[in-house]
Amino acid sequence: MNNQLKEFQNHLKNSKKVIALVGAGLSASSGLPTFRGSQGLWRNYNMIDLATPDSFYIDPSLVWQFYSWRRYLSLNSNPNNSHKSIIKILDQFKKDANKQFLIINQNVDGLFNKIRPNIPELFDIHGNLFTLKCTNFSCNYIEKNNFKHPLTSALKDVENENSNVTTKSPNFKPIKSIDESNLPNCPICKFLLRPGVVWFGESLPLDLITKIDNFIEDKFLMPDLILVIGTSGTVYPANSYVERVKLKGGKVAIFNTEIDDNILNGEIKNTWGFKGDAAELLPLALGDFESGFG
Q: Report if residue 171 touches ligand BV8, rule: CB under 6 A.
A: no
Nearest-5° Cα angle at 176, 170 to 182: 140
> Which among 5-13, 106-114, 139-147, 167-175 is the span making contact with ligand BV8, rule CB under 6 A?
106-114
| Cβ 62 vs Cβ 55: under 8 Å | yes
Q: Provide the terminal-to-terminal Cα distance of the chain, rounded to the nearest Å.
A: 17
Site for Zn ion in 176-235 (CB under 5 A): 186, 188-189, 191
SS3 content of the chain, % helix, strand, coil (to 5): 40, 20, 45
One symbol per residue from 112 to 151: x for binding Zn ion (CB under 5 A), - otherwise; what is it? ----------------------x-x--x-x----------
d(CA 229, CA 101): 15
Which of Zn ion, ligand BV8, none sits in contact with 258, Cβ below 5 to 8 A by type?
A: ligand BV8
- Which one of 4, 9, 29, 61 is in contact with ligand BV8 (CB under 6 A)? 29
Q: Which of 64, 79, 30, 39 is nearest to 149 (CA)?
A: 64
| Cβ 133 vs Cβ 194: under 8 Å | yes
d(CA 148, CA 71): 9
- Which one of 243, 258, 288, 290 is in contact with ligand BV8 (CB under 6 A)? 258
Which of Zn ion, ligand BV8, none sits in contact with 200, Cβ below 5 to 8 A by type?
A: ligand BV8
Q: Which of 33, 38, 42 is nearest to 64 (CA)?
A: 42
> Which among 133-141, 143-151, 195-203, 243-251 is the span making contact with ligand BV8, rule CB under 6 A?
195-203
| CA R_g for the chain | 20
Q: Report if residue 155 touches ligand BV8, rule: CB under 6 A.
A: no
Which of Zn ion, ligand BV8, none sits in contact with 143, Cβ below 5 to 8 A by type?
A: none
Q: Report if residue 58 touches Zn ion, rule: CB under 5 A.
A: no
> Which among 139-147, 175-183, 192-200, 285-293 is the span making contact with ligand BV8, rule CB under 6 A?
192-200
Q: Report if residue 30 touches ligand BV8, rule: CB under 6 A.
A: no
Which of ligand BV8, Zn ion, none sits in contact with 234, Cβ below 5 to 8 A by type?
A: ligand BV8
Q: Which of 253, 255, 254, 273 is nearest to 263 (CA)?
A: 273
Q: Report if residue 203 touches ligand BV8, rule: CB under 6 A.
A: yes
CB-based contacts of 64, cutoff 8 Å, min separation 6: 151, 155, 178, 183, 184, 195
Q: How far is the CB of 5 from ligand BV8 (least distance, A)?
A: 16
